[in-house]
A and B are shown apart, each in its own frame.
Chain A
Amino acid sequence: MSDEQTRPAYGMLLLAAAAAAGTALSIYAYFNSEAINHTAGVLLVIATTAAMVIAALAVAGLHFLPRWLRALSLVLLLIDVIGTGIAAWFLETQLLIAFMGVALLGWLLHLIAGPRELRPLPDPVAGRMPL
């Protein structure tokens, strides 16, 4: 395994951190915000940001995951980040929008500069893109 393949997934860790901050913020808002406390919308973003944390940590730390599952997780994470950002916009929660912006940066960082095994590479045998 080359150095490039084993280096830490900083992008995913950044995404997980932003999502965790989003979860904490959402839990706080659920109980304390005058604007959106005890609403279904906040419960939704608590769930989506928590799922984001779990998925990002899994992608970052579980190297034994099959390649297809890691790729699927990346796609779902992107949908989660964008969807949560839109929900945050409708909840008028600027800080959560900012966290999702950071999460998106993490996702891009992972795609561009993450561990090699996660990046799309030319198939040495067939010369095709494997994913």
Chain B
Amino acid sequence: MIRLPGLAAAALLVFAGVTGLCQAADTPSQTWYTFNGDLGAQKYATATQITPANVGKLRIAWQLHTGDVSDGTGKIPATVWSATPLFVNHTIYVSTPFYRILAIEPDTGKIKWTFNPHAVLKALTQPDMKTRGVAYWQAPNPQPGQTCQKIVYVGTMDARLYAVDADTGKPCQGFGKNGVVDVDQWNTVHGKYPLSQLQPPTVYKNLLLFGWAGKEWAYEVAPPGIIFALDAQTGSLKWQFHPLTQRMEADTGKVNVWASMSVDTQHDLLYIPTSPPSPDDYGGDRKEQIPYGNAIVALNADTGDVVWSRQLVHHGLWDYDISTAPTLLDIDRNGQKIPALVEPTKQGFIFVLNRLTGEPVFPIEERAVPQSDVPGEQSAPTQPWATTPPPTLNDTWPGVSRIADIASGGYCSRTFSKLRYNGKFTPPALGAGSLIYPPSSGGVEWGGGALDPATNTYVVNSSSVAMIYRLIKRSDYAREAKAAGDPKDFYPMAGGPYGIQIENFVNWLGMPCWKPPFGTISGYDLNTGKLLWRHPFGEVQHWGFYMPKSWGSVTIGGPVITRSGLIFIGASMDSRVRALDLKTGNVLWRAQVEAPAVSIPAVYIYKGREYVLFAVGGNTILMPRVGDQLIAFSLPKGGS
């Protein structure tokens, strides 16, 4: 019997209703129509052809190279390809870091059409050329012979949003001006840089819902983090949500949404995960309460009105964006269904909230935290702390790695002794700086987790990284940044009293000064909040050498789950993609790809065959290896 779990079913039904996708005989039974697979961000596929028993037989079904790749040594900045490929309308749609859209045959990998917006290939906001993919909209009743009844959207770093016909790749002339909306037309407050469109919009009903990404470390007062709702066909503005009041916008900026969003289609609720106000790492000039910063905010999807919000970090000083769309689920407790959402964070917490009210499903404590000694700063006395489900990271850092310390002649322990460290939420400091664990790289990053709604098993990958945050007085900043030679670790926060240097805590060989594992993957039972299993995940690779499996790897990207009990995930430094057993977390299959697959894979069924598709592009944060490989795996014909 095929059992479609409630929330996934509701989301699919709404999508099917809205887009006119009927379950006709030739219609695929598994689409992947949005960034997280579904609007509830469950990243769950009902496909069952590939199972734990036969996953070892997976083979490459097809692959292609987009050609849109740069290692940063030439004129074009390095590429970061974090796109989730979509499978909908019998086609694979994906954008490249050069902002081209490719439409691809799902079973052969042959390109149907391409769209090139001829975007500016410069690091206008981000240091790398980035994309997280495309969005797709379809009219409720597509009219034959009419164009743009099905539309694919791609955003660019220079703040443009393009709409093209999903069948032909031709621009939709009725969208904005000749098929493009300039999002920067609304960048009217502190518009110091473009409102980059790297994360594809969330498509719900007839709306495109999106925020922006920017250059948050650059200025003390940055553009405010507006959420936009556009008409999907015309590009006209339907509503805006300003997370900052006009008075706040005078002193600070951002509280933007880089990440994907999720939608409760039963209740018309849009959930947005927000970043901190600007600047990222000093709050002395924004001491008032900013309740929508570092928060989950539930908006009425039709109007943009706030329904509820819950702040997960008070007075952010660490760039702890709430970086991933919350996953929606119905928790089964004593026979009662609790409408819930789960939000993993960069601090490694797993917050579980009632998605209709924002109240905690599992307790959240307010714990006293270390206080800043930086002149002008006034850090929050307490921070929200979730102990159930158990965090992905311990409350204290892992300690100095003996191997790295010996290899560096004691550099690690000597440096640590000079740093300020008082546990989680240690604030940035002047002088030698503070050890920050975890730092802004997480914990859990934008890939988030995946949910099996049949059992409420939640799977999430998490990194274990230690960094040094060192505030520098404005009068010394320019000199120190110049003296360092390589300015990439320096962030000016211009206009404020301090800049900041943020660097990995590594020795001269590049070895992490903290103990492994550097990355894990965990499985939770969200009905009880218990940890089911946790394993080091991936392998660190340096100079080609693989470190022991028990060390794990820092990860970027997320997992997906199939109903047959498998987890598919790339994300690790070692340029491998893997399938894990959902029950145990053990690796059942792995394959080599050309770079770290820093994306969320897509699972789809086409012509009766199940495919797992990875965008393999790398991220220079993990390692210098970049790629442009789109690779699909499936069982050999007859292999299932």
Contacts and interface: CB of A to CB of B under 8 A. Distances in A.
Interface stretch (B232-240, B353-361, B541-549): B541-549
B543 A41 contact: yes
A35 B545 CA distance: 10
Interface string A10-42: 000000000000000000000000111001111
A100 to B, nearest CB: 15
Nearest to B547: A90
Q: Is the interface of B mostly helix, strand, loop or mixed?
A: loop
Contacts of B594: 34
A91 interface: yes
B545 A41 contact: yes
A44 B575 CA distance: 21
Q: Give the size range of A's interface with the partner.
A: 10 to 19
A92 interface: yes
A90 B575 contact: no
Contacts of A39: 543-544
A92 B546 CA distance: 7
A57 interface: no
A34 B546 CA distance: 14
B592 interface: yes
A108 interface: no
A113 interface: no
Contacts of A41: 543-545
Interface string A68-101: 0000000000000000000100111000000000
Contacts of B592: 34-35
B157 interface: no
B593 interface: yes
Nearest to B616: A34
B544 A34 contact: no
Contacts of A42: 544
Nearest to A92: B546
A87 B574 CA distance: 16
Nearest to A40: B543
A108 B547 CA distance: 30
Most buried by B among A34, A41, A44: A34
Contacts of A87: 545
B517 to A, nearest CB: 18
A40 to B, nearest CB: 4
Most buried by A among B543, B593, B594: B543
A36 B544 contact: yes
Given A34-B592, A34-B594, A35-B592, A91 B575 contact: no
Contacts of B543: 39-41, 44
A27 to B, nearest CB: 14
Contacts of B546: 90-92
Contacts of B593: 34
Nearest to B591: A34
B394 to A, nearest CB: 28
B178 to A, nearest CB: 41
Contacts of B544: 35-36, 39-42, 91
A34 B544 CA distance: 11
Interface string B578-598: 000000000000001110000
15 contacts: A34-B575, A35-B574, A35-B592, A39-B543, A39-B544, A40-B543, A40-B544, A41-B543, A41-B544, A87-B545, A90-B546, A90-B547, A91-B545, A91-B546, A92-B546
Interface of A: 34-36, 39-42, 44, 87, 90-92
